[in-house]
Amino acid sequence: MLLAIGIGNTSIKLGVFDGDSLVVTFHVASVIHRLSDEYALTILGLLKLKDISPVQITEAALWCTVPSIAPSFDDLLQRYFNVRPLVVAAGVKTGIKIRMDSPREVGADRISNAVAAHALYGGPVIIADMGTATTFDIVSREGDYLGGAIAPGIVMAAEALFTRPAQLYRVPLNAPKKAIGTNTVSAMQSGLIYGYVAMVEGLVARFQGELPVLAKVIATGGYAPLIMQETGVLSVYNPDLSLMGLRIISQINTG
């Protein structure tokens, strides 16, 4: 079995693959100061709930956007699972060509998303990953990573509203009945939800205009379902896209 791990800024996604099948997924909070033994205790406990023993894990692959956490996972995987993880980084075969001015600047999470999206849905394809930040990635029909865009995530934008202006406060991230808010809560909800939807629609329209043929748009990330309720530009939702990318990259590098 392959243990795939995506270490993000706020959460860590874990998935266990048996061959090509994703057997189970878990989410754990990213905590910079948590030790490898503490992460191991959590992960081993979660696996035990699904009757998966550490000896069944024969491979591991990970991407990480929080460099300070990566050593903890390298340590725990070697000590508790007896496997050395494949870390998505420069020099690792991915099956796609990165056509950026500086390829090393592309995050490993975005590369994993791009690999999976092209393998699963073909190309051209646009990936909208809506998490702590919102990233857009574009892959050509031939499998070339062309670039994309980076914007604040919807919660990041909301926190900026809550923490800076003295008279504003936290509101539920729900779409209001109308775009024209008639009170502070509905006005903030309109600006956050419909404003974010407009940003997604506007950027996707610009991407489509720069591509030779119409691209399929794949959504992933925890806040994608919220936005998909309000727009039709996002074709497919795949919450496990980056984990699937890790499986594909692992297969490419292990033969």
pLDDT score, position 9: 87
Concerning whether 109 is annotated as a catalytic residue, the answer is yes
Q: Which two tokens stand for residue 28?
A: 């754990």
* Gyration radius (Cα) of the chain, Å: 19
- The predicted-structure confidence for 173-187, as pLDDT tens digits, reads as follows 889 999 999 998 899
Options 20, 37, 51, 109, the catalytic residue: 109
Q: Find, among 236, 148, 130, the residue nearest to 193 by Cα.
A: 130
Q: Are 212 and 56 in contact (CB under 8 A)?
A: no
Indicate yes or no: pTM above 0.85: yes
pLDDT band with cut points at 50, 70 and 90 for residue 132: confident
Is pLDDT at 170 greater than 80 in this prediction?
A: no
- Tell me the average pLDDT across 56-67: 95
In sequence order, what DSSP letters do the residues of 159-214 get, joined into one string? Answer: HHHHHSSTT---------SSSS-SSHHHHHHIIIIIHHHHHHHHHHHHHHHHSSSP
Cα 29 to Cα 137: distance, rounded to the nearest angstrom = 25
Average pLDDT, the chain: 93
End-to-end CA distance of the chain: 15
Cis peptide before 124 (omega within 30 of 0): yes
pLDDT value at residue 160 = 79
Contact 135, 154 (CB under 8 A): no
